[in-house]
Amino acid sequence: MAPTSKPLDALVIGAGPAGIGTALALSAVDDLLVGVVDRGQIGQTFLDWPTKQTFLTPSFTGNGFGATDLNAVHPRTSPAFSLGADYLTGPQYAKYLRSVVKHFQVPVLSDTEVTAVEAAGDGFTVATSRGPVSARTVVWAGGEFSDRPDARLSGIGLADHSATPEAWEPRSGRVIVIGGYESGIDIACHHVEHGARVTVVDAGSPWDAGSGSDPSFRLAPRSRMRLDAAAATGRLTLTTAHASSIKRDGAEWIASLDNGTRIRADSRPIAATGFGPGLGPVSELFTLRRDGWPELDDDDQSTITPGLFLSGPAMRHGALKFCFIYKFRQRFAHVARVIGEAQGKDCSGLEEWRTAGMLTDDLSCCGVECAC
């Protein structure tokens, strides 16, 4: 994206899958002036992933039969096809995003941090590290990765968050992982596979199968298989309890649990305690739901700042969570159409997204459970 003094029709903040995907859909609307900015590079979060971290949603080129690759952000692309891999690493996915940007000529300005967003008249003034940008609408796609809220336990500063490289470095002896959903099980299995004895602590025991089929609420099949293999070594313990504090005791670390037990470890505990909504400079422009996630209208727009949209894993509608790419991508074309129609543009180019199964307008159809 070249710096422009002309107001953009839509400015997308963040060049991860949510930002690039939304920009691609906006580009399918006739005659919209669109730009994307990122404080780092295209796919920066994936470049920052710990090197052992891989996707848990597999890629597979089912596009020709209407089953678009789960990790694709455009109907005519497939990371499995372009990279020849199924469980992608972070750098592989960043490479896919770069190739999509290049192929579809998405206007992205890298190394451009957004520091403030202000509603001004019928649009926005956006302060960036390269100077101000004016835009009629803004899509926040800044992701969750840098928002690591402190878990409700004292001594959390003695733990390594699971998203940091330190948490993945080899550990011997006893390891404690606090949090037992995908990130916790992933890193616990990683350390068991490398010979450590690992205790995972989570009051909600998310490793239990549960009753629903939504992967936002139950472990992915590959995680379950890895969990079974780790349990078979005898070096994995799953504990249903809430960790209330972490303390240092000489060469050991002690986690106290609310069931009265204390667990000792030979290295800093690992906090796999998740991510926040990551709203950064737009946090004042959204109200939050009681559960802390941003309040959105039916079009993924802020309820207090018209023209400001959210794209990405922080999106919630009722009980629905959009925390995987295959989920939040269903809204790229919807948001693009809302923005395009408000500006009187021809949005027929978005039909390709619907045909490919990448457009969900009616969210009531998302709660279907699998019969078997």
Ligand X SMILES: Cc1cc2nc3c(=O)[nH]c(=O)nc-3n(C[C@H](O)[C@H](O)[C@H](O)COP(=O)(O)OP(=O)(O)OC[C@H]3O[C@@H](n4cnc5c(N)ncnc54)[C@H](O)[C@@H]3O)c2cc1C
Q: Are 247 and 155 in contact (CB under 8 A)?
A: yes
Please say which residue, 15 or 175, places its beta carbon nearer to ligand X: 15
Q: Are 172 and 266 in contact (CB under 8 A)?
A: yes
Please say which residue, 113 or 193, places its beta carbon nearer to ligand X: 113
Regarding 35 and contact with ligand X (CB under 6 A), the answer is no
Among 1, 13, 265, 296, binds ligand X (CB under 6 A): 13
Please say which residue, 249 or 291, places its beta carbon nearer to ligand X: 291
Among 14, 79, 215, 294, binds ligand X (CB under 6 A): 14
Regarding 39 and contact with ligand X (CB under 6 A), the answer is yes
The least distance separating ligand X from the CB of residue 245, rounded to whole angstroms, comes to 25
- Stretch binding ligand X (CB under 6 A), from 25-33, 237-245, 274-282, 348-356: 274-282
Q: For CA atoms 331, 333, 336, 340, give the dihedral sign.
A: negative
The least distance separating ligand X from the CB of residue 257, rounded to whole angstroms, comes to 25
Please say which residue, 16 or 75, places its beta carbon nearer to ligand X: 16
In the chain, the amino acid numbered 244 is S
Please say which residue, 269 or 277, places its beta carbon nearer to ligand X: 277
Q: Which residues of 69-88 are buried (b: 16+ CB within 10 A; e: fewer)?
A: bbbbbbbebbbbebbebbeb
Among 96, 286, 324, 332, binds ligand X (CB under 6 A): 324
Among 32, 34, 36, 45, binds ligand X (CB under 6 A): 45
x/- mask, ligand X, residues 275-294, rule CB under 6 A, reads x----xx-------------
Q: Are 221 and 86 in contact (CB under 8 A)?
A: no
Please say which residue, 281 or 340, places its beta carbon nearer to ligand X: 281
- DSSP helix/strand/coil, 328: helix
Dist. CA 253–CA 345, nearest whole Å: 60
Residues 205-224 that bind ligand X (CB under 6 A): none
The least distance separating ligand X from the CB of residue 327, rounded to whole angstroms, comes to 7
Among 9, 69, 144, 300, binds ligand X (CB under 6 A): 144
Q: Are 215 and 371 in contact (CB under 8 A)?
A: no
Q: Label residue 59 exposed, middle or buried (CB < 10 Å: 0-12, 13-18, 19+).
A: buried
The least distance separating ligand X from the CB of residue 249, rounded to whole angstroms, comes to 30
The least distance separating ligand X from the CB of residue 300, rounded to whole angstroms, comes to 13
In the chain, the amino acid numbered 204 is G
The least distance separating ligand X from the CB of residue 84, rounded to whole angstroms, comes to 18
x/- mask, ligand X, residues 158-197, rule CB under 6 A, reads -----x-------------------x--------------
Regarding 114 and contact with ligand X (CB under 6 A), the answer is yes
Total site size for ligand X, rule CB under 6 A: 35
β-pairing, 174-178 vs 160-161, is unpaired
Which of 5, 14, 27 is CA-nearest to residue 105?
27
Please say which residue, 163 or 350, places its beta carbon nearer to ligand X: 163
Strand runs labelled E in the chain: 8-13, 34-37, 108-109, 114-120, 123-128, 131-140, 160-161, 174-178, 197-201, 236-239, 243-249, 252-257, 262-265, 270-271, 308-310, 316-317, 320-321
In which residue are the tokens 């920009």 written?
Answer: 23
DSSP state, 272? Answer: -
For binding to ligand X (CB under 6 A), which residues are involved?
A: 13-19, 37-40, 44-45, 53, 55-57, 113-114, 141-145, 163, 183, 275, 280-281, 312-313, 323-326
